[in-house]
Amino acid sequence: MNAEIMLMPVIICLVSFVVSSLTIPSVILLANNNGAVAMPGKRHIHTKPTPKFGGIAIALTVLVISPVVFPLDRVTGSYLLSSALMLLIGVIDDVRNTSWKTKLVFSLVATSVLVFGSGLWFENLGNLFGAGEIRLGLWGIPFTFFAVFGITNSINLIDGLNGLACGVASIAFLAFAVFASVSDNSTVLYLSLANLGATLGFFRYNYPGAKIFMGDSGSMFIGFSLAALAIFLTQGGGTIDPMVPVIVLGIPMFDTVRLLIIRLKNKKHPFTGDKTHLHHLMIRSGIPQYRAVRIIWILSAMMSSLAFLLFRFDAWVMLLVLSVIVAFVGVFIKRLRIIRLSTSRKRFHAF
């Protein structure tokens, strides 16, 4: 019996990988037939039309396998229904390019299903400032809506290079699976591994040369799944501190907050697309695309490792360490800007 229990996580991940991999060719055909194709342009780095819809293979794998793995309850049922809604708006956006307002409405509805269906939200933020646990009570519900939207969009925004979002998300799912195993949270363990396997199944078609993009159908489903798992891992009797998912997702979350501040400072719409993301700055500084992707992967893996080293400490210790890391990343980004300006001047003088 123990052997079966130990094998179950491996089986879930492996089956998800196989199902997702086998589904991708059909999804590519579906995307081409429905006009869900990313065309080269000013905001895009790719040079040839590439089908989207990769998220369909990822999401359907998770949505089909999960009910088979364990009986549905309030938590898993609300996750499956709410994440399916996020998949739906992602698919619509891949075909029709919906407005940010439509995405926001779908996100609010999906988060409502998740929160009120599962009965879980970010009610306890841990001992953030060293003065005892911060409990939000019902105020945690609007905070959760904001947090879920932020995490979902952090994955959506980092999806700009082949394999980037896919790799960052895979690292996060693996980290969540490890923490779920440590805290004996089978729901998060199995859901994390189902998502991990499905994402890796897509990965082989997305990196290094992309035959398909995950599209908004993938980035929104994956981002929402990570947000949901963060809630399930830390709330409702969960023994993992809420700061742990923040550290694990530190790189995409930091980049999202940085972009928001820059856009508001420059009096731009916060949801306006541009090329000021971390990966764009790295490329404009002369770092090859494949190397930029791997650097961000390494940073994400380091953050997950850091979370594992710190998860038994109080939240205020983790917050302090994270603040130091953010400062170093800020210096790194500042350095990228200096390199970019220096390179631009050299090119100008060459003319």
Q: What string of pLDDT tens digits covers the 351 residues of the chain?
A: 454 556 888 899 999 999 999 999 999 998 888 877 877 655 555 557 788 888 899 999 999 998 888 778 899 999 999 999 999 999 998 888 888 888 899 999 999 999 999 999 999 998 888 888 899 999 999 999 999 999 999 998 888 888 899 999 999 999 999 999 999 999 999 999 999 999 999 998 988 777 899 888 999 999 999 999 999 999 987 789 999 999 999 999 988 888 888 888 877 777 766 677 788 788 887 888 889 899 999 999 999 999 999 999 999 999 999 999 988 888 877 776 655 545 444 443 443
Could you read off the pLDDT of 196-240 as tens digits, one per residue?
Answer: 999 999 998 988 777 899 888 999 999 999 999 999 999 987 789
Q: Cα angle at 335 between 333 and 336, to 5 degrees?
A: 65
Alpha-helical (H) ranges within 52-185 are 54-69, 74-96, 100-118, 140-158, 164-182
Contacts of residues 297-300 at CB distance under 8 Å and 24 or more positions apart, as own/partner, are 297/164, 297/167, 297/168, 297/171, 299/251, 299/329, 300/167, 300/168, 300/171, 300/172, 300/251, 300/252
The DSSP-derived string for 240-299 is: S-THHHHHHTHHHHHHHHHHHHHHHHTT--TT---S-SHHHHHHHTT--HHHHHHHHHHH
